């Protein structure tokens, strides 16, 4: 930041000079001067007012300078008008502009003009979701009174909802997602040969489903299989595609009763329109129907998918029964490729994790021990009750003893054990007596699957190691969902209109994109980045000479975070407003 002189030559040959407060900013590969304040003509400049401002600044910095103080003038004390956190928001705004999300939004919104800057309002909602997730009313108050958003002094709830509606209308055909993806891919050099796709669900704090349009359509809020274990509440299904680096590239929203098997065609078609070239789609076993796999192979595409091993699939059983040597990939991963004559178009990769195998065995042994103890307790209690009944009958002189009342109690205990969510799978009920015992055949069958998972792929070029490691990277999609549901507070959702529901998910997706880029570049979790940078405040000082905005001094750790992300830190001083 510096004082800059400019001049203008009049027709009569006289020269008029002007004084400006300027700052150099790097735009692309060039440096451009940005004028912060025009101080006016040099011959009309109030030098004493400028000296008073300099003295006020020096006093705040602790560097008193008597030379700058005007003789016989009282500069007066400085007062702090406001102090707002700016560090984390400044980093997110820098990433937002670096990824050219602002240009992408401007491109899809077109030439329409609005009374407020819609792009700034959308960014403010995204920043709120990443830093302090809250409702749209609370977010408007947060932007207006709590934090400093570059280019936005404040907003209200109506402006927030208006921006959300415009975001959804602009992304009707995925224009925003497409523009954001290609900006991020070009800048971050993303590898998009593998696309990882998964779905999750999130619920609403409402009792009923959405109203339909009377024709069997409309309404995202539907009851369905809840992955949040909230079947009592309506929900939506969310699909997310991420790269192998964990960068989310697109998000989808479907009604809550949508089955995973029915969405692959739409995902494939939407990504095909982006013309990404050769793409291998990675999914889990919930999408592994023959129809879905055949659709993923259209237009030269390929897939890597998990295969369910415990549901009686003939091909899975045949693949697991094949002999062969495992190849050591890592300390905790071995792979073996087998081929089936019944399905020559697919490759089958058996993966074995010794650590996970030992964990499965330990867990199963503990459950079998608990089952044995419970069955022994029930048998002992039944025998004790029968002995009591026999003793009572003997005292009464009865010849026969009825064990039905006591036996009914013990049968209820056995039924509760049989229906136990984790222990019941190891039990079988004998048809003749109705008694329970451990199912040795099932225990043996499960022991053969300890630490194993089965993968099928249509790609003829990938090595078994690449297939196995590619499938393991599907955890990136699961990690993205965890971040959306915890850090970004995706759930619960309180919106009623479908457009607002979709906009809420889009805002969470954009926030996830920014924090994933920040985590990838710094090597720190977003929780750590947010905590460290939120300590940077923008302080507005006021005095007789004018107003000035100053940023607190950065610590080495804070400066390093900005450097790692390639974002210039906030300026030390800005917003100079001399008193008229």
Average pLDDT, whole number, for the chain? 82
Structure confidence at residue 107 (pLDDT): 76
Cα–Cα distance list, 387 to 317, 374, 390, 407 (Å): 49, 20, 5, 12
Residue 304: partners with Cβ closer than 8 Å, 6 or more residues away: 194, 280, 281, 282, 283, 455, 456, 457, 459, 462, 467, 470, 471
pLDDT in tens, 306-318: 888 876 567 788 8
pLDDT over 70, % of the chain: 87
Structure confidence at residue 311 (pLDDT): 64
pLDDT of residue 182 exceeding 80, the answer is no
pLDDT of residue 127 exceeding 50, the answer is yes
Structure confidence at residue 68 (pLDDT): 43
pLDDT of residue 65 exceeding 60, the answer is no
pLDDT of residue 240 exceeding 80, the answer is yes
Structure confidence at residue 73 (pLDDT): 43
Nearest 5°: the CA angle 501, 236, 101 is 45
> Does the bond joining 570 to the residue before it have cis omega, within 30 degrees of 0?
no
Structure-model confidence comparison of residues 255 and 188, the more confident one: 255
What strands, in cross-sheet order, belong to the sheet with 327-330? 248-255, 235-242, 194-203, 280-283, 302-307, 452-457, 347-352, 333-338, 327-330
Indicate the range of 47-56, 486-495, 540-549 predicted with least confidence: 47-56
The residue among 75, 34, 82, 24 whose CA lies nearest residue 54 is: 75
């Amino acid at each position: 930041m510096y004082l800059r002189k400019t001049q203008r030559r009049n027709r009569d040959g006289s020269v008029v000079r002007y004084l400006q407060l300027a700052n150099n900013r790097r735009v692309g590969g060039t440096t451009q001067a940005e004028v912060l304040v025009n101080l006016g003509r040099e011959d009309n400049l109030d030098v004493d007012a400028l000296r008073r401002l300099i003295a006020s600044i020096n006093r705040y910095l602790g560097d008193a300078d008597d030379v700058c103080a005007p003789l016989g003038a009282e500069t007066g004390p400085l007062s702090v008008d406001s102090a707002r956190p700016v560090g984390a928001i400044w980093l997110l705004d820098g990433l937002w502009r670096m990824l050219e999300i602002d240009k992408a939004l401007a491109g899809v919104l077109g030439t329409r003009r609005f009374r407020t800057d819609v792009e700034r309002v959308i960014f403010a909602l995204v920043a709120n979701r990443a830093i302090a997730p809250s409702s749209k009313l609370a977010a408007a108050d947060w932007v207006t009174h709590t934090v400093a958003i570059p280019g936005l002094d404040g907003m209200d709830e109506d402006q927030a909802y208006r921006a959300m509606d415009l975001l959804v209308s602009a992304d009707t055909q995925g224009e925003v997602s497409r523009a954001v993806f290609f900006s991020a891919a070009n800048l971050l050099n993303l590898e998009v040969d593998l696309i990882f796709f998964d779905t999750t669900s999130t619920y609403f704090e409402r009792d009923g489903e959405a109203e339909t349009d009377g024709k069997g359509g409309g309404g995202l809020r539907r009851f369905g299989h809840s992955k949040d274990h909230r079947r009592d509440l309506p929900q939506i299904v969310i699909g997310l595609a991420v790269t192998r680096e964990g960068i989310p590239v697109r998000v989808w929203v479907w009604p809550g009763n949508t089955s995973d098997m029915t969405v692959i065609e739409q995902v494939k078609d939407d990504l095909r329109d982006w013309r990404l070239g050769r793409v291998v789609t990675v999914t889990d076993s919930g999408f592994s129907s023959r129809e879905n796999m055949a659709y993923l192979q259209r237009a030269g595409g390929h897939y890597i998918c998990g295969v369910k091993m415990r549901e009686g699939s003939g091909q899975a059983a045949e693949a697991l029964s094949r002999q062969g040597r495992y190849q050591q990939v890592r300390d905790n991963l071995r792979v073996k490729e087998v081929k089936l004559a019944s399905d020559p178009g697919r490759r089958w990769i058996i993966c074995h994790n010794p650590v996970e195998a030992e964990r499965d065995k330990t867990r199963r042994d503990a459950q079998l021990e608990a089952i044995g103890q419970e069955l022994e307790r029930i048998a002992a209690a039944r025998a004790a009750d029968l002995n009591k009944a026999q003793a009572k009958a003997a005292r009464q002189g009865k010849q026969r003893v009825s064990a039905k009342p006591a036996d009914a109690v013990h049968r209820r205990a056995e039924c509760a054990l049989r229906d136990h969510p984790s222990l019941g799978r190891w039990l079988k009920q004998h048809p003749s007596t109705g008694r329970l015992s451990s199912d040795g055949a099932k225990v043996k069958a499960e022991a053969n699957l300890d630490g194993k998972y089965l993968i099928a792929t249509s790609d003829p070029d990938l090595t078994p190691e690449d297939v196995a490691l590619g499938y393991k990277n599907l955890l990136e999609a699961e990690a993205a969902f965890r971040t959306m549901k915890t850090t970004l507070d995706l759930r619960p959702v309180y919106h009623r209109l479908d457009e607002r529901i979709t906009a809420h998910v889009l805002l969470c997706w954009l926030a996830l994109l920014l924090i994933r880029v920040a985590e990838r570049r710094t090597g720190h979790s977003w929780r750590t980045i947010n905590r460290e940078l939120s300590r940077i405040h923008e302080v507005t000082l006021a005095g007789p000479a004018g107003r000035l905005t100053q940023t607190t001094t950065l610590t080495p750790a804070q400066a390093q975070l900005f450097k790692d992300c390639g974002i210039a830190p906030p300026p030390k001083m800005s917003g100079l407003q001399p008193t008229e």
